[in-house]
Amino acid sequence: MTVTATETTKRGRWRGKISGIAILLAALSLLAFGAAPLGWRTGLLPLKAAFELLALAAIAAVLGGVVAAIALAVWRRRLGRLRILLLAAALLLGAGFVLLPLRIAMHHAPPIHDITTDTSDPPAIITALPARQAEHAAPAAYGGPATAAQQRAAYPDIAPVILPVASSKAFDLALVTAQSMPRWKITATDPAAGRIEASEASFWFGFVDDIVIRITTADAGSRVDIRSVSRQGKGDLGVNAARVRAYIAALRSAAG
């Protein structure tokens, strides 16, 4: 069967349109993916709108990946090298947006965003309260027995640190350790009250988590408690627990 020049031209146009749609969807996805955190950080978008923009980015990426897969499967031998590379990138982007939610779902982190070594009497957040109110953040009050039960089930290893030194020495060790933590910003220190407050912002969205460390006298020397709580969201994907664990490990190392 002979293929006319007109039919060849039409097929070439279809190849160009289909592959172009895939590349355009991928580009729009990347644009929305970058605009969402930028809009939130600059105050142009409320958090809900920023997350909705992320959802649109995911939809565009997945659709672009599907179209790219079709284009590569049908016309791979007739496409130029550059277009093949762009379609492969669109396919990988779509696959990434599919795999990321699956990875998050498999993380098994409880839907809480407040982790502390003392669930009966958590260290109180004081200095960060005005900033939390200005950001319309989640309440700083601890969630109570329900939150404590979920923490114990997911992170049973998180417990206070007992140091065999006086509380003043423990405070110095706790402060030096806090100052050494990557991306932590010390916001308040009160040696008399035995309290240190800090914050840490996430890399991408700039979400701020507040941290408070409390040093008290114990029978064996001093007791150090730490609490890490997010300002936004209901779950933290285990971020606060990881932060608390990292600080405890660093403090124990500093104390020898």
The domain boundary, picked from 45, 75, 105, lies at: 105
Residues 16 and 90 in one domain: yes
pLDDT for the residue numbered 10: 56
Look up the domain containing 12 and give its range. Answer: 5-105
- Based on the domain organization, do 99 and 132 belong to the same domain? no
How far lies 140's CA from each of 17, 109, 215, in Å? 53, 20, 20
Instruction: Pick the last residue of a domain from 105, 137, 159.
Output: 105
Q: What CATH code is carried by the domain that includes residue 233?
A: 3.30.530.50
Together in a domain, 238 and 122? yes
Q: Do both 30 and 91 map to the same domain?
A: yes
71 plus 118 within the same structural domain: no
Domain boundary (105, 124, 140) is at 105
Alpha helices by DSSP H, listed for 43-159, are: 47-75, 81-105, 129-134, 145-154
Helix (H) / strand (E) element for 187: namely strand 185-190
Res. 31: pLDDT tops 90: yes
Summarised one tens digit per residue, pLDDT across range 186-218 is 999 999 999 999 999 998 888 999 999 999 999
Mean pLDDT for the stretch of residues 57-81? 89
Give residue 101's pLDDT: 74
Rg, the chain, Cα only: 26
The three-point CA angle 105-101-54 to 5° equals 135
- Read off the tokens for 145: 């027995």
Q: What is the reported pLDDT for 233?
A: 81
Long-range contacts from 82-87, C-beta under 8 angstroms, 24+ separation: 83/19, 83/23, 86/19, 86/23, 86/26, 87/19, 87/22, 87/23
Do 56 and 147 lie in one domain? The reply is no
Do 163 and 68 belong together in one domain? no
Does 140 lie in the same domain as 29? Answer: no
Average confidence (pLDDT) over 10-14: 60
For residues 178 and 186, the answer to whether their CB atoms sit within 8 Å is: yes
Q: Are residues 128 and 248 in the same domain?
A: yes
Q: Over 90: is that where the pLDDT of 146 sits? A: yes
> What does the pLDDT read at residue 107?
67
Give the pLDDT mean for 27-32.
95
Do 158 and 249 fall into the same domain? yes
From 197, 239, 231, select the one nearest 214 (Cα to Cα): 197
User: Angle at the Cα of 113 (from 112 to 118), degrees rounded to 5?
Assistant: 90
How many structural domains compose the chain? Answer: 2
Across residues 238-253, what is the average pLDDT? 96
Tell me the pLDDT of the chain averaged across its residues.
90
Only one residue has tokens 């150090």, namely 224
What integer pLDDT is reported at residue 234 of this predicted model?
A: 82
pLDDT in tens, 75-132: 877 778 888 999 999 999 999 998 877 776 666 788 999 999 999 999 999 999 999 9
Selected residue with higher pLDDT from 40 and 175: 175
Q: Among candidates 53, 242, 192, 47, which has minimal Cα distance to 61?
A: 53
What's the length of the chain? 256
SS3 of 189-239: the string is EECCCCEEEEEEECCCCCCEEEEEEEEEEECCEEEEEEEEEECCCCCCCCH
pLDDT at residue 256 above 90? no
Q: How wide is the angle at C-alpha 189 spanned by C-alphas 112 and 220, nearest 5°?
A: 80
- Amino acid identity, position 98: V
Tokens representing residue 181 in the block: 């933590």
Is the per-residue pLDDT at 1 higher than 60?
no
Give the number of other Cβ atoms within 10 Å of residue 169's Cβ.
15
DSSP 7: H
Q: How confident is the model at residue 9 (pLDDT cuts 50, 70, 90)?
A: low
Residue type, 192: A
- The torsion angles phi and psi of 40, rounded to 5 degrees, stand at -70, -45
> Nearest to residue 237, comparing CAs of 194, 199, 207, 216?
207
Q: Are residues 121 and 245 in the same domain?
A: yes
Same domain? 150 vs 92 = no
**Average pLDDT estimate for 37-52:** 90
DSSP 256: -
